[in-house]
Amino acid sequence: MSGDWPIAVRTVDVRDTLAPLNDVSKYPRTRVFVFDGGTLVGSVDIANAHAPISITRLRDAIANGTVYALMRRAMERQIDASSAPDRLETSVSVSIVIPTCNRPDDLRRCLESVFAQRAARRVEVIVVDNRPSPDSPTPAIARAFPDVVFIEERRPGLSYARNAGFAASSGDIAIAIDDDVSVPDGWLERLIAPFARPEVSAVTGHVLPLELETSSQCRFEAYGGLGKGFSRFEVNGEWFRSIKGAVPTWQLGATANAAFRTSIFRDPRIGMLDEALGAGMPTGCSEDTYLFYRILKADGVIAYEPAAFVWHCHRRSDEALRHQIRCYSTGHVAYHLTTLMRDRDRRALVRLGYSLPKTFARRAFERLRGRSDYPLDLILTEMAGSLAGPWALWRSRRRVRRLGPGARPRTDDAVSMEGRVPQAPAA
């Protein structure tokens, strides 16, 4: 992979006049995210070999790589086949919950992008400090922005922090993002638009790499990244019950960019995030995939809206990447064990006993035969993390019993946002 990175990340809107990319000469490859009138439609990779990219080459790459998406959008405009886009009533209020853990620069960038959003509705921003200390810069950063609701959650764990934010939220919809993302113009309304349909319980959005400057950032994208593609989809209880093997909720998105009706947190069939799962716990992750599982089990609808994307800053060092991949693998097994033991869903056994080992074997075989450049040490890291899953889950459950349950939402529905939430400027 050493010859394939760093990768330049650029954006092009086909409605604008194309210009050559003259600032990519230090890169062997360039990833171009393609927009059509501000709507994300796809991406293309161009092997520019440390040379500028001409208009002709850029046009040909976009035409070849995104032809289906662009033709479909053009046809819909021509014959008016697409219905008017969903638009959520402005009376619906929103809370944006941002947990943070001693990452002041990331948090500042995130908040700057959030407060640049324009909306005609009430928008509440909640920052949850999951590593409070007397010398922490986090409170000062949060309070530098108008009307931010600042909360301290001293119990370590991302689920504890998110639950504290969800419980304190006064919006009809709660949005979860990470502190290391930045959001573009229009993100908020695109993400919440599907809630105009009352059956939608949750919406997830795309997650794009802000940069691909290091080998670890490029390898994380090769691993799969956090995004789930450029095509809309939705799943429901019928889909949940039709799956023969384990329910692949890890393919639906992540709480790095997701929104939920706050009423689901008061639904006994769904509830809050499982504090034993997620970053900051031995399990490492999968608190969101288990929440998606419970939403679908309760016959909720989860919609994926790729146009509601965020920019994510991937881990820059190899050590951080290995830790992240190990956590993902450990949490993945912990998720399946949770559905097996708590929900009595024996489909988890198919994943744990068959498809997951088969995936590792296939990856190793392709790497050894030279058909893949995904590093063997990361494959071994995934395997080690998976084997640690049962022990990690036991340790996490024990820790939660010691720390106690996290915050829970108020039971009354009459929650006023007056006096707590800034009125966002009208679009």
Structural contact between residues 110 and 144, judged by C-beta atoms closer than 8 angstroms: no
Beta bridge partners of 21: 53
How would residue 413 be classed by pLDDT, with cut points 50, 70 and 90? very low
| 194-198, 258-262, 314-318, 342-346: the lowest-pLDDT one | 314-318
pLDDT at 411: 66
Q: Give the CA angle between residues 123, 125, 131 to the nearest 5°.
A: 170
What tokens appear for 299 in the block?
């016959």
Structure confidence by residue, pLDDT tens digits, 360-384 = 999 888 888 888 777 888 899 999 9
How would residue 414 be classed by pLDDT, with cut points 50, 70 and 90? very low
So what's the architecture of 94-318 in CATH?
Alpha-Beta Complex (3.90)
C-alpha span between 95 and 382 (Å, rounded):
35
pLDDT at residue 65 is higher than 60: yes
Structural contact between residues 243 and 267, judged by C-beta atoms closer than 8 angstroms: no
pLDDT at residue 398 is higher than 90: yes
User: Is the four-CA dihedral 159, 164, 167, 169 of positive or negative sign?
Assistant: negative
pTM of the model: 0.91
Structure confidence by residue, pLDDT tens digits, 94-142 = 999 999 998 999 999 999 999 999 889 999 999 999 999 999 999 999 9
**Coil, strand or helix: which one is 344?**
coil
Structure confidence by residue, pLDDT tens digits, 260-319 = 999 999 999 999 999 999 999 999 999 999 999 999 999 999 999 999 999 999 988 999
pLDDT at 106: 94
Average pLDDT estimate for 163-171: 96
Torsion of CA 112, 117, 119, 125, to 10 degrees: -30
Residue spans of the domains in the chain: they are 2-79, 94-318
Q: Give the CA angle between residues 196, 202, 206 to the nearest 5°.
A: 100
Per-residue 3-state assignment (H helix, E strand, C coil) for 387-421: HCHHHHHHHHHHHHHHHCCCCCCCCCCCCCCCCCC
How would residue 77 be classed by pLDDT, with cut points 50, 70 and 90? confident
Kindly state the percentage of the chain with pLDDT values over 90.
Answer: 79
Structural contact between residues 91 and 157, judged by C-beta atoms closer than 8 angstroms: no
Query: Over the chain, what is the mean pLDDT?
Result: 91
How would residue 90 be classed by pLDDT, with cut points 50, 70 and 90? very high
pLDDT at 250: 95
